[in-house]
Amino acid sequence: MNFQLGGRFGRSRWFQVADLFSRVPYWLLIIILLGLFFLWRAATGSDYRIILSAVSKGIATTIYVSLVAYTFSIILGLLIGLMRIAPLRLLRESASLYTEIVRGVPMLVILYYIAFVGAPALVQAVNWVFHPLISIGLIAELNIRTLNFVWRAILALTIGYSAFISEIFRAGIESIDKGQMEAATASGMTWRQAMSCVILPQAVRNVLPPLCNEFVAMIKDSALVSALGVQDITQLGKVYSASTFKFFETYNVVAYLYLIMTISLSLMVRGLERHLNRRNVRGE
């Protein structure tokens, strides 16, 4: 009898595991198998262990640049998105001009432009504004070297992604029924009060998945900062492969590290979308 119960229990567990694997997408299973194979190679081969140790030092820089730039992009993108739908035409046209120009320029070009043109101009502008205080020795004059390449890269990514994020916010706000804004203003609220208390909370809930997708995209585009010599994953992989000529192994490690971050975030975004969809169906 105990044997039969154990057998039934074992079979039920087996069916649960089989059902779990049947619901996992094939592409994810293939990626998991490739990841396990890579871990096995890293555990058994000294080359991969050395490369992983050298390249993984750039993970902190990649995450730092992406998080800081994304935070600033959210703030600037929300501001520009609100300007796109503002009652004042001058604000709408100014925000549209910014969005169309930035979205029409490749991110790498923006990176170079901000690093070698925008950053020096910004330093000169700050020195010009505070010249009276600098002349009497109250504050020190800024030097272009004060703004290192990490912060130039963050500034460039912020400008580039804020244009795309502003469109996400604009679409999310415009997806809310106009009657809610009319009802809010009819009850005595100003446009700003109605936007912050009524419209934006609903819009943010609608745009959370695409905003998370933008963060995944920024993780990948952060590899562009290696063009400025910033010591991220890509730059360290480039330096190591150039010194050892082990390009195949090195860029396998680089790709694997990016895949771990992006696929993990993508799965979290999908889970968030399913959660929001269930809440919308229940009317919460």
CA 222, 223, 224, 228 torsion: positive or negative?
positive
Please tell me the distance from the alpha carbon of residue 236 to that of residue 130, in angstroms, as a whole number.
38
pLDDT computed for residue 127 by the predictor: 84
* Structure tokens given for 42: 């890293």
Q: Taking a C-beta distance cutoff of 8 angstroms, is the pair 226, 184 a contact?
A: no
Q: What is the pLDDT of residues 206-240, one digit of tens each?
A: 888 889 889 999 999 999 999 998 999 999 999 99
Sequence-distant (≥ 6) Cβ neighbours of residue 134 within 8 angstroms: 127, 140, 141
Q: What is the pLDDT of residues 236-270, one digit of tens each?
A: 999 999 999 989 889 988 988 998 899 888 888 87
Residue segments in the chain with a per-residue pLDDT below the cut of 50: 1-3, 5, 9
Tally of CA atoms within 13 A in the half-sphere of 7 that contains its CB:
4
Burial-class residue 160 by CB neighbours within 10 Å (0-12, 13-18, 19+).
Answer: buried
| Domains observed in the chain | 58-276 (1.10.3720.10)
* Structure tokens given for 234: 């890509």
Residue 95 region by backbone torsions, left for phi larger than 0, else alpha for psi between -120 and 50, else beta: alpha
Please tell me the distance from the alpha carbon of residue 155 to that of residue 72, in angstroms, as a whole number.
9
pLDDT computed for residue 3 by the predictor: 46
How wide is the angle at C-alpha 50 spanned by C-alphas 47 and 53, nearest 5°?
A: 145
> DSSP states of 210-273 as a string?
HHHHHHHHHHHHGGGGGGGT--SHHHHHHHHHHHH--HHHHHHHHHHHHHHHHHHHHHHHHHHH
Q: Could you give phi then psi for residue 136, rounded to 5 degrees?
A: -95, 5
pLDDT computed for residue 280 by the predictor: 60
Q: Which among 157, 162, 142, 123 has a CA at the least distance from the CA of 232?
A: 157
What is the maximum alpha-carbon separation in the chain? 94
* Structure tokens given for 150: 């990490």
